[in-house]
Structure formats: structure tokens, C-alpha cells
Chain A
Amino acid sequence: EVQLMESGGGLVQPGGSLRLSCAASGFTFSNYWMHWVRQAPGQGLVWVSNIYSDGSATGYADSVRGRFTISRDNAKNTLYLQMNSLRAEDTAVYYCAREMGASHSNGAVFDSWGQGTPVTVSS
């Protein structure tokens, strides 16, 4: 069974940092592109970032580029999101999501999601 479990969220002051983790199990993690998607309270889904299966390339939404860094450790089956210079508008539940097909074979379609980890940026 595919499982994704996020951790690392919490309350942080504006300008602070957090590192989110997403532990993967039940599939060959190193074969899949991975993504982070966030959802502000009462709002819709917003794509944040993606990373290739081997970590060789990444992508970011304009709103987080230069502040957030996505990475992965395929030996540990873990995805990360380093979030720096946090702002109030970064307050959201952060989900990690797996693409449906290995090696990006079905494109950016998300068939597996974690339960989410909440991040609150407030003084």
C-alpha cells in the first residue's frame, strides 16, 4: 500500500524557517516525480513545487521561488521542503503528492497524497 506521511509543520514567526518531510513507503520512491501542494484555510489547492525522480531538476511556483527548496533522499525514501523567509500568506496545510506513473509516464497527475501537515506563520 502506498503511504505518504508528512511531518515538520507547526507555528513559526514571520521571517522564520521550517523544514517539512514526507516519508514514503509501499512503492519504489526513486522512480517517481514528487510534488508539494498547499491549501490555505478554507481555500483551494495550490501547487508549490516538484522534483524529478533522481532529484536532478526542480520547479517552483512564483510565490515561493527563492524562499523554498525542494529536495529528496532516495536512500531514505523521503521528500523535503525547506521553507525560509516565511510569510503569513504561507499559512496552509502542506501535502506531498506522488505522480500516478513512474518516471513521469502519466504526467503530473496525483494519485497518492499524504494527510498533510499544517503550517501557521504568525507572530
Chain B
Amino acid sequence: ETVLTQSPATLSLSPGERATLSCRASQSVNNYLAWYQQKPGQAPRLLIYDASNRATGIPARFSGSGSGTDFTLTISSLEPEDFAVYYCQQRQHWPPLTFGGGTKVEIK
């Protein structure tokens, strides 16, 4: 099973600041990594797929990078609606599909 480790667990930032979230895979997943945003009581929302492709309707302030085992989700300037939990997910080695443990972006 491919384990995805996200860091930090919690990121405390202010609106307007830049957020950098990390996802590390236990083995190479090539670029087959996606990022999701989840707000309390809501289903996850796809942000980024295949490491760097924004999903339909996702603002340009969200960007993804990386390949192999190390990936980054960057939010260039946090908007109030961006405070949420973010998960990475790999689709290179499955079953099982695996998700990271999540990074909570909270208001400082």
C-alpha cells in the first residue's frame, strides 16, 4: 500500500498569506496525485489532479507541483473561504487508492 504523509498537520495563517502544503508518498506515484479540499459537513472537492492540473472552476490561486514522491499544493493568497482541510490522493498503485491524513489550514 502506498502511504501518503501530509505535512504540516495544521497550518495557521492569515488571509492574504501564502499557504504551502506538502504530500510525500512512500513510493513513486509518478504524477498521479490529486488534491481535495473539504470543509466541515461537506463532501470533498477536487482541486488539482495529476499533480498540477486545476480542476474545472478552481481559482488560479491554487497550484500544484511535484512528481515521484514529493508534491506541493500552494495557495498563493488565502481567501476566507480557503480555510479548510486538504487531502492528497494517489492513483498510481491501487487497489487500494490511498489518501493522505490531511492538512488543516486554519485562521491565525
The DSSP consensus for interface residues of chain B is loop
Which chain A residues (61-77) contact chain B, with CB distance < 8 Å? 61-62
Stretch among A13-21, A41-49, A81-89 lining the B interface: A41-49
Q: How many residues of B contact A (CB 8 A)?
A: 25
Number of A-B contacts (CB under 8 A): 62
Q: Tell me, in angstroms, the Cα distance from A47 to B97 when the chains sit together.
A: 6
Q: How many residues of A contact B (CB 8 A)?
A: 22
Q: Tell me, in angstroms, the Cα distance from A62 to B43 when the chains sit together.
A: 24
- Minimum Cβ distance to chain B for residue A94 (Å): 11
- The answer to whether A45 touches B43 (Cβ under 8 A) is no
- The answer to whether A47 touches B101 (Cβ under 8 A) is no
- The answer to whether A44 touches B44 (Cβ under 8 A) is no
Q: Tell me, in angstroms, the Cα distance from A46 to B44 when the chains sit together.
A: 12
- The answer to whether B44 touches A107 (Cβ under 8 A) is no
Neighbour of A109 across the interface among B45, B49, B100, CB < 8 A: B49
